[in-house]
Structure 1
Amino acid sequence: MKEYDFLIVGSGLYGAVFAREMTNLGKKCLVIDKRLHAGGNIYCENIKGINVHKYGPHIFHTNDKNIWDYVNSFVKFKDFTYSPLANYKDTLYNLPFNMNTFYQLWNIKSPVEVEEKIKNQVKEAGFIRPKNLEEQAISMVGKDIYEILIKGYTEKQWGRKAIDLPTFIIKRLPVRFTYDNNYFNDKYQGIPIGGYNKLIEGLLKDIEVKTGVDFFENRNELTKLATRIVYTGKIDEFYDYKYGHLEYRSLRFEHEFMSIPNYQGVSVVNFTEKSIPYTRIIEHKHFEFSKLSETIVTKEFPQEWKPGTEAYYPINDDYNNKILRKYNELVKEENNVIFGGRLAEYKYYDMHQVIASALVKINMFK
């Protein structure tokens, strides 16, 4: 008889949701994490009363009322409309692309004229079936917007030329012909009151959690503890890189405390010039409408993943997807291991998608 029903490797959203629901079903779970805190990438560090998003900004958004009600059952969310700005050569533009952006670019107020201008640029480019991100972006918004607001930001974010990136990456970006700076189209949007740690604490309440535990350093002993394993780490690492390394993008953060009440007046400013090494500056207090007299800002520097750094974004191009298919064949042979989350599934998930994926998997055990 094993001590636990489930050993859950990783205390991010997927692991925490799985642990919560299995515990509710009467199963005994042990959650481990190699970091010194629970919560994965949504972890916030409270510094002088400001919840700092340690691993990049997170805004919860979904059209699924069941998912929205689910997260609100653990912590109440406050409405938050994400309206970032883009900085190109010291000129600010509204995001996502909307009539404010188009007016700032072309001094055009009419949606009809804007649509015509974009249509002409798209026609001139002549991309009938876009083959890469550059062609896809130009076919959506024309050459001007692509060159000023997409190309430089995207290429430094992914560390690859836009012509070498898949089309799906840019398809997520909204384009509107109204004066609407709401970045997301989703009906439900917000930030947990008190920060994301409150959500993780609610999910993991009364569940055994051990931090600072590296699964791969104690794999044999840990595996013996439970009937099944839920694994949320890198899929290639689980198989000891048998078919080679999958590629990921990593991030480096520079946090700075400032003795001023307001640095940039908005939660996020994207820097779209490729010559500027960071992709954005985050001012954390604006996520929770803090009125404190001090502030904390973070510069986010993208970099290629290498051992010793954190893996954030899978790179789902043809090269990596070919390797992934080989690993997924091994996954099919597993009887007692469940793979879930952005790294284990090698998918670009948003938070609500991670939760939905975990809940679908849990339904198999009900």
Structure 2
Amino acid sequence: MKYDYLIVGSGLFGATFAYFAKKAGKKCLVIDKRPQLGGNVYCEEVEGINVHKYGAHIFHTSNKEVWNFVNSIVEFNRYTNCPVANYKGKLYNLPFNMNTFCQMWGVTTPEEAKAKIDEQKSEAVAALNGREPQNLEEQALCLVGRDIFYTLIKEYTEKQWGRKCTELPAFIIKRLPVRMVFDNNYFNDKYQGIPVGGYNKLIDGLLEGIDCKTDVDFFNSEYKDWNKFADKLVYTGAIDEYFNYSLGKLDWRTVSFKTRIEDTANFQGNAVVNYTSHEKPYTRVIEHKHFEMFGQEVYDCPKSVVSEEYSTEYKDGMEPYYPVNDERNNQLADQYRKLAANEENVVFGGRLAQYKYYDMAPVIEQVMEYFKK
């Protein structure tokens, strides 16, 4: 049988595309090189807890159509992302808000906080002596001042990028949101949450009734000659790999995890704690149960699963996670996108195939727009 679409990758783009294609009466085959479906949103159950195996995923959107759609597949809970930053043992609320400024300076009013930040921003601008910021460090100091930068940004950013802030381009951060309210909600979106029962429920719902094969590497299988099997290809892998790195390799950052079971019901009291100094080699610690368990539920589950997250430079064989937004890579990615635009009957979708960082909701929006057209 020949399919209408061969879909390479069963992550959120591929699974959502398959769902809407099936709804439009199309036949799809989804292949994935991993032993399971779901891409990076895949969850693994450990001690009754849904562990985000490839890193924490929090769904958030202001698009009511997208929110209603995902909830039509699986109900989402009320989880609200309120990360905490640990700097050398001292805790600060994120994003930067009145709780952060009270913890840092003892100020209690927005007027006091603004005056403190403005004073430090003025010092940074004066130090430039009329020139534009030349690197991320100078840019950040001009945006939020020295205390916030050195406590919550500098070392955390250096761990994330594997480079000193003075070596990173200024354009990486065009703005740093500062909120003059006592609100620890990280996202401004109207809707946010986690699928009840974990993200596998969402993927299973999207792929219900669709032919799927796992442990299949597109480039080392019969499906590389995809037009023998389907009229169109949906490709969600790395864009440079699709073109056999003909223009050169794109750079990526990747992450790795050290996950362990803790013999306690509540290890850190929050789903996400960022470690913003170099004292700890990891960037953050995730306690997975807090994504889906609230109140007494936390203690009804006697153990906890935590993951330390490490940011590293990508090497061949690793999983690519984040595009590197510097001048070289942006220009190279544009060249690959031009090649992609000339590929007949091929759809390039998602973070890897477009070399752009996307949250989950915009990925679903892209697929919706494709099928509306």
For 1:354, which of 359, 363, 372 is the aligned residue?
A: 363
- The answer on whether the counterparts of 2:172 and 2:325 sit within 8 Å (CA) in structure 1 is no
Is structure 2 residue 270 aligned with structure 1 residue 261? no
Matches within 5 A, 1:28-107: 28-107=27-106
CA distance in 1, matches of 2:93, 2:224: 52
Q: Once the two structures are superposed, what CA deviation does each residue of 1:242-282 show, in whole Å capped at 9, x if it has no partner?
A: 11110111111000011111110100110001242100000
Identity %, equivalent residues: 56
CA distance in 1, matches of 2:270, 2:342: 48
CA distance in 1, matches of 2:323, 2:22: 30
Matched to 1:73, the amino acid is: S
Matches within 5 A, 1:223-302: 223-289=227-293, 290-291=297-298, 292-302=301-311
Is structure 2 residue 166 aligned with structure 1 residue 163? yes
Shift of residue 358 of structure 1?
A: 1.8
Matches within 5 A, 1:99-248: 99-126=98-125, 130-167=133-170, 169-170=172-173, 174-218=177-221, 219-248=223-252
Matched to 2:152, the amino acid is: L
Shift of residue 153 of structure 1?
A: 0.6
CA distance in 2, matches of 1:151, 1:57: 22
What SS does the corresponding residue of 1:108 show, helix, strand or coil? coil
Question: Structure 1 residues 69, 136: CA separation in 2 closer, same or farther (over 3 Å shift)?
Answer: farther
Shift of residue 158 of structure 1?
A: 1.5
Between 184-193 and 156-165, report the one with greater CA deviation: 156-165
CA distance in 1, matches of 2:27, 2:169: 42
Question: Structure 1 residues 172, 295: CA separation in 2 closer, same or farther (over 3 Å shift)?
Answer: farther
Matched to 2:217, the amino acid is: D
Shift of residue 169 of structure 1?
A: 4.6
Shift of residue 109 of structure 1?
A: 1.0
Question: Structure 1 residues 171, 42: CA separation in 2 closer, same or farther (over 3 Å shift)?
Answer: farther
CA distance in 2, matches of 1:130, 1:196: 42
Unaligned runs of at least 5 residues, structure 1: none
Shift of residue 130 of structure 1?
A: 4.5
Shift of residue 173 of structure 1?
A: 5.1
Question: Structure 1 residues 80, 129: CA separation in 2 closer, same or farther (over 3 Å shift)?
Answer: farther
Question: Structure 1 residues 222, 309: CA separation in 2 closer, same or farther (over 3 Å shift)?
Answer: same
- The answer on whether the counterparts of 2:247 and 2:332 sit within 8 Å (CA) in structure 1 is yes
Matched to 1:244, the amino acid is: G
CA distance in 2, matches of 1:337, 1:69: 29
Shift of residue 116 of structure 1?
A: 1.0
Question: Structure 1 residues 42, 281: CA separation in 2 closer, same or farther (over 3 Å shift)?
Answer: same
Shift of residue 326 of structure 1?
A: 1.5
What SS does the corresponding residue of 1:120 show, helix, strand or coil? helix
Matched to 2:215, the amino acid is: G
CA distance in 2, matches of 1:28, 1:173: 45
CA distance in 1, matches of 2:328, 2:157: 19
CA distance in 2, matches of 1:50, 1:6: 35
CA distance in 2, matches of 1:194, 1:104: 36
TM-score (ref. length: structure 2): 0.94
Question: Structure 1 residues 20, 208: CA separation in 2 closer, same or farther (over 3 Å shift)?
Answer: same
Q: Once the two structures are superposed, what CA deviation does each residue of 1:207-255 show, in whole Å capped at 9, x if it has no partner?
A: 1111110001014344421111000010000001111110111111000
Aligned residues: 363
Q: Once the two structures are superposed, what CA deviation does each residue of 1:321-343 show, in whole Å capped at 9, x if it has no partner?
A: 11112111211211111101001
Matched to 1:192, the amino acid is: P
TM-score (ref. length: structure 1): 0.95
- The answer on whether the counterparts of 1:249 and 1:312 sit within 8 Å (CA) in structure 2 is yes
